[in-house]
């Protein structure tokens, strides 16, 4: 059967293909979808910050879920239109669907309660977002970076581990000690910001591999994950202290979801021959930052007495440094290099 002229013309309008076969165009209707999505996001933000337009719970519940649903559909649609990174965007889209299922389920079960329980069944779907998102990022890295330098990528993880340890010592431990939650609730509560920070570390590691010149896709992904991490951290501190309630900043979560959805539709950066050759201070920016943060936390620990945090920082830095030394150890070019050298010296010839 021959394709219809309408389908052929529509495909030409909808899809533009770059030199590597990646589809980066979008259906024309998407421009209106983005406009409506941004308008809903602004309406949610204005209502939650000022109370204009009706009960805040309506906007932090149903409008919030509508934005999440639209973001999930947009990301899954991207997986349909881009063959090269299809698996990556499919995983990220499924992560957003899991997030949406948890939010809708929570709204149906507890949306009308003034003091909803914690944790709930929704946390299973919300926590499932992290492994699916990590899988999507891994697939994006495999698709977009031809080479991958583990020791340079780990610089980003080193930075966020130090920041995370400092946060645990300075904020999370005091809040948990003064909180009213049980042990399981505290673990689940703080799993969100901890997992968020690890994802941020993965993104920072990619930025380092790209010579601190990330493409728009990576910038938008990083901004979306940071927005989600901020909201999760605020909520975790409030919840563990018995002052739960996210009705005045739910728009921060939806902002993160919209940024990730938009990242799916910007023009793909193409395959990069990472690691990029980096010189000067940019080459050591992340390890220097990690060391500076570690030193700062240990100085504070000396005067402020946060012994547990100081020990965690020391352990994290030592473990990461040891792994990086192993990964960057010199290796022979080939297995027969030593025997070739000995034979050349014995024969009085030149070493190849």
Distance, CA of 143 to CA of 150 (rounded, Å):
16
Please answer whether residues 104 and 88 qualify as being in contact, where contact means their C-beta atoms are separated by less than 8 angstroms.
no
The residues, any chain, with a CB within 8 Å of residue 339's CB and separated by 6 or more, are none
Cβ-count burial of 146 within 10 angstroms (0-12 exposed, 13-18 middle, 19+ buried)? exposed
Residue 348: helix, strand or coil by DSSP? coil
Please answer whether residues 297 and 162 qualify as being in contact, where contact means their C-beta atoms are separated by less than 8 angstroms.
yes
Directed axis angle between helix 216-240 and helix 183-209, to 10°? Answer: 160
| Residue-level pLDDT at 206 | 83
| Residue-level pLDDT at 98 | 97
Please answer whether residues 163 and 293 qualify as being in contact, where contact means their C-beta atoms are separated by less than 8 angstroms.
yes
| Angle in degrees, CA 6, 8, 11, rounded to 5 | 105
Q: Which of 24, 35, 28 is nearest to 13 (CA)?
A: 28
The residues, any chain, with a CB within 8 Å of residue 280's CB and separated by 6 or more, are none
Distance, CA of 21 to CA of 10 (rounded, Å):
18
Residues of the chain with pLDDT under 50: 1-24, 274, 334-346, 349-352
The residues, any chain, with a CB within 8 Å of residue 120's CB and separated by 6 or more, are 106, 109, 110
Q: Which of 156, 177, 170 is nearest to 310 (CA)?
A: 170
C-alpha distance across the termini of the chain, in Å: 62
Contacts made by residues 23-31, CB under 8 angstroms, sequence distance 24+: 23/81, 23/82, 23/83, 24/82, 24/266, 24/267, 24/268, 25/81, 26/81, 26/265, 30/74, 30/265
| Angle in degrees, CA 330, 335, 336, rounded to 5 | 120
Please answer whether residues 193 and 229 qualify as being in contact, where contact means their C-beta atoms are separated by less than 8 angstroms.
yes
């Amino acid at each position: 059967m021959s394709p219809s002229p309408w389908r052929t013309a529509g495909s030409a309008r909808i899809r533009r293909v770059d030199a590597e076969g990646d589809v980066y165009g979008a259906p024309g209707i998407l421009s209106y979808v983005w406009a409506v999505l941004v308008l809903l996001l602004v309406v949610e933000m204005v209502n939650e910050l000022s109370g204009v337009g009706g009960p805040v719970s309506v906007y932090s519940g149903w409008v919030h879920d509508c934005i999440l649903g639209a973001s999930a559909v947009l990301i899954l649609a991207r997986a349909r239109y881009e063959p090269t990174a299809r698996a990556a965007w499919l995983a990220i889209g499924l992560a957003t669907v899991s997030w949406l299922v948890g939010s809708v389920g929570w709204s149906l079960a507890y949306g009308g309660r003034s003091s909803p329980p914690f944790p709930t069944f929704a946390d299973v779907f919300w926590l499932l977002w992290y492994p699916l998102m990590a899988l999507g990022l891994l697939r994006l890295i495999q698709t977009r970076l031809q080479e991958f330098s583990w020791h340079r990528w780990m610089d980003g993880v080193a930075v966020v581990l130090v920041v995370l340890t400092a946060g645990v010592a300075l904020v999370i431990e005091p809040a948990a000690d003064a909180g009213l939650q049980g042990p399981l609730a505290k673990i689940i509560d703080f799993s969100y910001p901890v997992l968020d920070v690890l994802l941020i570390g993965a993104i920072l590691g990619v930025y380092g591999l790209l010579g601190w010149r990330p493409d728009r896709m990576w910038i938008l992904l990083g901004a979306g994950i940071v927005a989600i991490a901020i909201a999760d951290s605020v909520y975790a501190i409030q919840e563990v202290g018995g002052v739960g309630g996210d009705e005045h900043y739910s728009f921060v979560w939806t902002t993160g979801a919209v940024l990730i959805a938009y990242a799916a539709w910007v023009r793909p950066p193409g395959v990069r021959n990472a690691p990029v050759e980096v010189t000067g201070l940019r080459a050591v920016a992340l390890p220097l930052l990690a060391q500076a943060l570690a030193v700062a936390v240990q100085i504070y620990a000396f005067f402020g007495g946060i012994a547990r945090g100081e020990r965690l920082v020391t352990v994290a830095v030592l473990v990461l440094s040891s792994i990086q030394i192993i990964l960057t150890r010199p290796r022979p070019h080939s297995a027969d290099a030593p025997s070739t050298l000995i034979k050349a010296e014995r024969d009085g010839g030149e070493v190849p």
